[in-house]
Chains A and B, each alone.
Chain A
Amino acid sequence: SQTIHQWPATLVQPVGSPLSLECTVEGTSNPNLYWYRQAAGRGLQLLFYSVGIGQISSEVPQNLSASRPQDRQFILSSKKLLLSDSGFYLCASRAAAREKLFFGSGTQLSVL
């Protein structure tokens, strides 16, 4: 099975500061990778997904960006954080030939 490493677990950042959340995957090759966000009181929202190195699809217009510099590394970034970027961010991975989705432990981001 896959193991998803996601860090940091908790992050408090001032408005206007940059952001970099990292996710790495073990146990599979060439996975489909996803970034989700759960804002307070709402369900999970898909932000980005990637089917391969350098291939990023954005689901919603926003202040964030994603990159996949290596096969099992997925990074969520922002140049300048907004208050509305606060939330719980989940990285997820799915092996190309299967449907089961594996999740990281998440990052709780508070923008103040």
Chain B
Amino acid sequence: AQSVTQPDIHITVSEGASLELRCNYSYGATPYLFWYVQSPGQGLQLLLKYFSGDTLVQGIKGFEAEFKRSQSSFNLRKPSVHWSDAAEYFCAVVPRAGGTSYGKLTFGQGTILTVHP
């Protein structure tokens, strides 16, 4: 079955530490891949997306993500976390073509990031 999975429900890091949030997908063909962030009291904001080309994608707020086809993964990273990065992060996919799921955005369960000073 097609799915997108974020294995970590909650991650806690210290400010200044590096961060990696995991995302795995299960689709017949590589979907379009996205990372969104939802800060408390705000709507969802797009951090970055992968359609094709360079597998290392740069986003806003110092985030990057790497697409690994062999692992069906699209993990989000940041070298040094700031306290303002505390939020909930969603990996999302859009199937590329075909079937009833075409064009529909499907989210993972989300990962809550807590940042300690």
A interface list, Cβ under 8 A from B = 32, 34, 36, 42-46, 49, 90, 92, 94, 99-101, 103-106
Contact = CB atoms under 8 A, between A and B. Distances in A.
A90 B43 CA distance: 8
24 contacts: A32-B103, A36-B107, A43-B6, A43-B107, A43-B109, A43-B110, A44-B107, A44-B110, A46-B107, A49-B104, A90-B43, A90-B44, A92-B105, A94-B103, A100-B46, A100-B49, A101-B44, A101-B46, A101-B105, A103-B43, A103-B44, A105-B42, A105-B43, A106-B43
B25 interface: no
A42 B112 CA distance: 11
Given A43-B108, A46-B104, A100-B46, 8 more contacts: A36-B107, A42-B110, A43-B107, A43-B110, A45-B107, A46-B105, A46-B107, A103-B44
